[in-house]
Amino acid sequence: RCRMEASCLELALEGERLCKAGDCRAGVSFFEAAVQVGTEDLRTLSAIYSQLGNAYFYLHEYAKALEYHHHDLTLARTIGDLLGEAKASGNLGNTLKVLGNFEEAIVCCQRHLDISRELNDKVGEARALYNLGNVYHSKGKNVANAGTHDPGELPDDVKNALQKAAKYYEENLSIVTELGDRAAQGRAFGNLGNTHYLLGNFRSAVLAHEQRLLIAKEFGDRSAERRAYSNLGNAYIFLGEFETAAEYYKRTLQLARQLMDRAVEAQACYSLGNTYTLLQDYEKAIDYHLKHLVIAQELHDKIGEGRACWSLGNAYTALGNHDQAIHFAGRHLEISREVGDRSGELTARLNLSDLQMVLGLSYSTNNSMMAESQAVENSLNGGRPRGRRYSMENMELMKLTPEKVPNWN
Amino acid sequence: SQPLAGGQAAELQSKVVPSKQIIHSDNMEMEPETMETKSVTDYFSKLHMGSLVYSCTSKRKNK
C-alpha cells in the first residue's frame, strides 16, 4: 500500500512541476496517471483534481475543466475542507463563466466570496470579488452581443450586469489597495476600464486604463502595457479624439512587433486603418489596411482577409481610385462566398455594382443623358463618387461580424 | 435607395449612427482570469510531514 501511495504522490508532484514549467499537456498526463493509481488521502486527491481542472482550463478544454473542478468541490465538501471548498467554487465559477453558464457561475463565485468572508480571508475575498466582476462583465457583454447595441444605449439587463461588474471591481480594488497588491490592482483597473467602456463612460474608461498602464510599466509587463494602449485607443475613438487614438494604436503596434505577436500586430494595423479613415487620411488608411491584409493572408485568416479587402475597397473608393476599389471589392465578394458570409457577400455586390456604374459612366460619352445627370449629382455632392456614401454606410455592418471571429478579438 | 443586408442592418441604417462608431470595438483587451491553486505538497507537508516531524521530535524527547 505504501508503494502505491508514493507512486500516486510522485506522479502528482511531477505533474505539478510540469504545469509550473508551462507544459500543461504533459502535466495532465501525470495527474491522470496519479488518479489512475489512486490514493486514500482525499486531500491529495482534491489537490490533484484542482490542478487537473486548472490545467484543462489553460488548455481551453473547458468541459474537462468543469468535470475536475466539480470533483474537487464534491471532495472538499465531503472532507469538510472549507478553504478547499471556497477555492473549488471559485474555479468552478470561472469555468462556468467561460462556458456561458452565467447564473451558475454567479452562485459558485458568491459561495467563494461567502466562505472567504466567513474565514476572514481578505485575499480570498478580493479574488472572489474580481471573479464575480468578471462573470457579470461577461454576462453583460454576452447579452449585448446578441443585439446590435452601441455603447451608451444598452438594454436594462445589460446595463444592470455591467453596473454590478463595476461595483465588484471597485470593491475588489479597495481591498487589494489596502493589501498593497499592485498586480491585482492592475487587473481590476483593466477590467473596470473595459466595463466603463461598454457602459459608455469613456472618460472613466480612460482614467482606469491610465492606472492600468502605470502599473504595467511598474512591473515591466509589456503584454499588459500593450493591452492598456489598445484599450485607451478604443476609448479615445469614442471620445472623438482620433489623433490621440492613433497615437495609442501606434504604441500597441510597436509593442506587438516587439512581442512578435502577428495576430495582435494585424489587429493594431486594422484599428489604425479605421482610425485614419475617420481622420479622412485615406492614404495612411490604405497603408495600414494593406499591412493588415498581408498578415491575415500569412495567418490564413480568411475572415480577416475579407475585412481587409472590404476596408481597402472603401478607402480606394474615397480616393477615387476606382480600379483598385473594384479589385478589392471583387476579392471581398470572392472571400465572402468562400467563408459563407451572406451579409458580406451582399455588401460586396452592392459596392461592386456602384463602382461599376461609376466606372461605366466615366467611360461613356458626354452626350449621354445619364452621364449628364450623374455629373449634376456629383457636383451637388461635392464631386464625390456615388459609391462611396453607400460603402461608408455599409461599414456599419462591421460591428455585426467581429464576434464570429474569435481569433481577432 | 439601397437595401442593406438583413433586418438588423436596415434598422441600423435608419438611425443616425455617428461615423466614429464604425469601429465599435469588439477587440477589447481583458485581463487574465485568476484561478485558485492547490498543491499536493501543501497537504502532504501538513499531514505526512507534520506527523513525521511530530514522531521524530517525540522520539528525540523520549531519548
Q: What is the mean pLDDT of each run of 10 residues along chain B (63 residues)?
A: 33 30 62 96 61 47 45
User: Quick one: A247 exposed, middle or buried, by C-beta within 10 A (0-12, 13-18, 19+)?
Assistant: middle
pLDDT at A363: 53
| CB pairs < 8 Å spanning A and B | 151
Cα A84 to Cα A283: distance, rounded to the nearest angstrom: 59
Mutate to test the interface with A, among B22, B39, B42 (most CBs of A within 10 A): B22
- The CA distance from A231 to the nearest CA of chain B, in Å, is 6
The answer to whether the beta carbons of residues A72 and A102 sit under 8 Å apart is no
pLDDT at A359: 79
CB contact under 8 A, A399 and B31: no
Q: Is A231 on the interface with B (CB under 8 A)?
A: yes
The answer to whether the beta carbons of residues A96 and A105 sit under 8 Å apart is yes
CB contact under 8 A, A190 and B25: no
Q: Return the C-alpha cell found at B4.
A: 442593406
Cα A92 to Cα A179: distance, rounded to the nearest angstrom: 25
Q: Which amino acid is it at A149?
A: H
Q: Return the C-alpha cell found at A348.
A: 460586396
The answer to whether the beta carbons of residues A52 and B35 sit under 8 Å apart is no
CA distances from B7 to A36, A148, A352, A385, A393 (A): 55, 11, 22, 27, 15
pLDDT at A138: 97
Q: How many helices (H) and strands (E) does chain B have?
A: 3, 0
- Residue spans of chain A under pLDDT 70: 1-6, 146-152, 361-409
pLDDT at A399: 36
pLDDT at B36: 97
Helix (H) or strand (E) holding B22: none
- The CA distance from B48 to the nearest CA of chain A, in Å, is 10
CB contact under 8 A, B44 and A44: yes
Cα A44 to Cα B41: distance, rounded to the nearest angstrom: 8
CB contact under 8 A, A394 and B4: yes
CB contact under 8 A, A346 and B27: no
CB contact under 8 A, A130 and B17: no
pLDDT at B14: 21
Q: Return the C-alpha cell found at A367.
A: 452626350
CA distances from A150 to A136, A155, A279, A359, A390 (A): 18, 10, 21, 36, 21
- The CA distance from A363 to the nearest CA of chain B, in Å, is 24
> Which pLDDT tens digit goes with each residue over A51-91?
999 999 999 999 999 999 999 999 999 999 999 999 999 99
Mutate to test the interface with A, among B36, B41, B47, B49 (most CBs of A within 10 A): B36
Residues of B in contact with A87 (CB under 8 A): 36-38
Cα A93 to Cα A87: distance, rounded to the nearest angstrom: 10
Cα B25 to Cα A39: distance, rounded to the nearest angstrom: 50
Long-range contacts, A239-242 (Cβ 8 Å, 24+):
A239/A202, A239/A203, A239/A206, A240/B20, A242/A275, A242/A278, A242/A279, A242/B20
Q: What is the pTM of this model?
A: 0.80
Q: Is B16 on the interface with A (CB under 8 A)?
A: no
pLDDT at A215: 98
> Which pLDDT tens digit goes with each residue over A174-206?
999 999 999 999 999 999 999 999 999 999 999
Q: Return the C-alpha cell found at B39.
A: 498543491
Cα A303 to Cα A202: distance, rounded to the nearest angstrom: 29
CB contact under 8 A, B42 and A240: no
CA distances from A185 to A193, A330, A365 (A): 12, 48, 68
Q: Is A12 on the interface with B (CB under 8 A)?
A: yes
- The CA distance from B58 to the nearest CA of chain A, in Å, is 23
CB contact under 8 A, A190 and B17: no
The answer to whether the beta carbons of residues B11 and A401 sit under 8 Å apart is no
Cα A303 to Cα A281: distance, rounded to the nearest angstrom: 25
Residues of A in contact with B47 (CB under 8 A): 41, 43
The answer to whether the beta carbons of residues A37 and A11 sit under 8 Å apart is yes
Residues of B in contact with A277 (CB under 8 A): 22
Of B2, B20, B33, the CB nearest to A94: B33
